[in-house]
Copies of this chain bind each other. A is one copy, B any other.
Amino acid sequence: MKRIEKLLERIITRVNLNLRDASFDVRPYIRDIVPLDQLMKFYAFYGISPNHPIHFHFSNSNLAGSYFLGQCKVDNSVLYKSDIRGDELKEKGAVFHFRGTDIQLEDDEVIWIKDSFLIKTLVHNYSHNPEKLDLFLIKNSIAAHYANIHGSPIEGCFLGPFSTVDLSSLHDCVVGAFSYLQVGELSHKKIRPGRIWIRAKDMFDFDYRYNPEILRKYIAFEPGKGTMGMFMDFAEDRKLDFQRLYDVVHLDPHISMPKGASINRYALLKGKNHISENVLVAQRAFLESAWLGKGANAQENCCISYSRLESFDITAHGATIIYAHLKNKVFVGFNSFLQGKSDTPLVIGEESIVMPHTIIDMKEPVSIPPRHLVWGYIRNNNDLKEHSISLEDLAKVSGEISIGAMRFKGSGEQFVKAFQHRVEHILEANGAFFDGEKGRGHAQKGQEISFNIIQPYPEGPFKGIYPAIDINP
C-alpha cells in the first residue's frame, strides 16, 4: 500500500502547486472520497478491435474499474472507474481546420493522463487545442465523480463532480460541481458550481447560473464530506445492478440485435428494452424498459428508464432520462437530468435541444415544443418559459438577450447552426446513418471488441499499483 499512498500524495502536491494562485487546496476534497481498499478490489480493462488503432501504456498507476479504448497512456495516475475513450483520436496525416487554417498532424494522437486522479470520469474525443493537436494531455489534475472531459486537454485543474469540460483547453482552473464549460481557452479561473457557459470567440456567449440553494439538493461537494445529493444517490442506486456485468468473463447478449446496432458488453439492460437499427448503447449505460428508435444512442454513464426515444435521439454522456417521450432527433446534453411522471411522461418535441446540465424535475405535466432550446432548472410550465426559446427565435438574436438567469450575447444564428452541426456530427460518428455500406460509426465498429482484464499487484508494497504495461498493434 505504501506506493499507492505516495502516488496520491504526489498527485495532490502537483495539483496544489498548479492551483497555488487560486489558493485552492485539493487535499480536503479528495481525501477519503475513494477508500484505498476500493482501489485494490476492481480490475481495469481495455478493448482491442480491428476498428480502433491501439497503443496502451500504463505505468506506476492504479486503474481500478477503468476502461480504455484506442490510444491511451497513463503515468503516475489513479483512475477510479473512469472510461477513457481514444476511439476518435486524430491519425497521423489528418487535417484539423482552425479559424481558416489547415493544420496537418505529424503523429497519431494519444490521450496522456499524467499525475492525475480521475474518479468515474469520462474522457473522450480528441484535443481541440490547435497548439497540441497530437496530444490530448490531462496533467496535474483531479476530476471528481461523473465529470466529463470531452475533447479538452487540461493542466493543473480541479473538476468538481458532474462537471463537464467540452471542446476547450484549461490551465490552472477550478471548475465547480455541475458546471459545464465550452469556452475555448481558459486559464487561472475559478468557476462556481452550476455555471453553464458556452463561448465561441467573436461569435456568441451563452451563460446560465443555477441558484446555489436549489443545486445543493441535486449535487453538493464539500471539503471533508465528499459528493452528496440526489444525483449521487441515483447513481449509487444502480451500482448493484452493474456488479454482475463485472463478475463474468463473457456475457451472452440477452436481446436480439438488429442490423448495425451494438450494445456494449458493459452496458446494463433491465426489464424489456427495444433496440432498433444503428442504435449504440455504450459502456456503463443503463437501460430499463427503454424503447430506442433507429440510430438513437445511449452514451456512457447515461440512464434511460421507462422512456421512449424515437429515431436519431442523442443521450449524451451522463444524462438521465426517466418517464419521458422524446420525438425524433432530440439532443439531450451531458449530465442532464430529465424526470417526468409514470402517468404523464415528459414530452420533448422533434429536433429540440436540451442543453448540457439541464435539470427537468417535473412537478406538473410539461411538454417541450419541437425545435426549442431548453436549459437550466425546470419543474413546471412557468419555469419552462424562463428556460427555453424556439430555435427560430434564437436564430434571430444578434446582440444581447436575457431570459431568466440566462444571458446570451452574439449571433443566435451561429449558435443554433453550431449546435445543429454538432448533432449531425454526433449521429454520424456514432453510425446512426449507416446504410449497410457507408456511414460506419461507433455502433458498427463497437460490435467486435475483445475486453481484456488487467489487475494490479494484489499484495506487498506495490499493492494496488499496476506493473508497466505497453500494448501495441
- Give me the interface of A with B, judged by CB distance under 8 Å: 43, 48-51, 54, 246-250, 448-463, 467-473
Query: Would you call B247 and A48 a contact (CB within 8 A)?
Result: no
| Chain copies in complex | 2
Distance from A310 Cβ to chain B, minimum over Cβ atoms (Å): 31
A452 to B63 CA separation, bound complex (whole angstroms): 13
12 other A-B residue contacts (CB within 8 Å) besides A247-B250, A448-B459, A469-B469:
A48-B456, A48-B458, A50-B457, A50-B459, A50-B461, A246-B249, A248-B248, A248-B249, A448-B460, A449-B458, A467-B471, A467-B473
Distance from A44 Cβ to chain B, minimum over Cβ atoms (Å): 10
User: Chain B residues near A43 (CB, 8 Å)?
Assistant: 249, 450, 452
A43 to B452 CA separation, bound complex (whole angstroms): 9
Instruction: Tell which of B246, B250, B468 touches A472, judged by Cβ atoms closer than 8 Å.
Output: B468
User: Chain B residues near A453 (CB, 8 Å)?
Assistant: 249, 452-454
Query: Would you call A455 and B452 a contact (CB within 8 A)?
Result: yes
Instruction: Tell which of B48, B250, B448, B467 touches A48, judged by Cβ atoms closer than 8 Å.
Output: B467
Distance from A442 Cβ to chain B, minimum over Cβ atoms (Å): 15
User: Chain B residues near A473 (CB, 8 Å)?
Assistant: 467-468
Majority secondary structure, A binding face: loop
A247 to B252 CA separation, bound complex (whole angstroms): 11
Q: Which residue of B lies closest to A455 (CB)?
A: B450
Distance from A416 Cβ to chain B, minimum over Cβ atoms (Å): 40
Distance from A336 Cβ to chain B, minimum over Cβ atoms (Å): 33
Q: Which residue of B lies closest to A250 (CB)?
A: B247
Instruction: Tell which of B54, B249, B449, B471 touches A249, judged by Cβ atoms closer than 8 Å.
Output: B249
Query: Would you call B470 and A470 a contact (CB within 8 A)?
Result: yes
A50 to B51 CA separation, bound complex (whole angstroms): 36
A249 to B456 CA separation, bound complex (whole angstroms): 14
Q: Which residue of B lies closest to A450 (CB)?
A: B455
User: Chain B residues near A470 (CB, 8 Å)?
Assistant: 469-471
Q: Which residue of B lies closest to A468 (CB)?
A: B472
User: Chain B residues near A49 (CB, 8 Å)?
Assistant: 457-459
Query: Would you call A455 and B248 a contact (CB within 8 A)?
Result: no
Query: Would you call B468 and A471 a contact (CB within 8 A)?
Result: yes
> What are 13 of the A-B contact pairs (CB < 8 Å)?
A43-B450, A43-B452, A48-B467, A50-B462, A54-B467, A247-B248, A248-B248, A249-B249, A449-B458, A450-B455, A452-B455, A453-B453, A469-B471
Distance from A473 Cβ to chain B, minimum over Cβ atoms (Å): 5
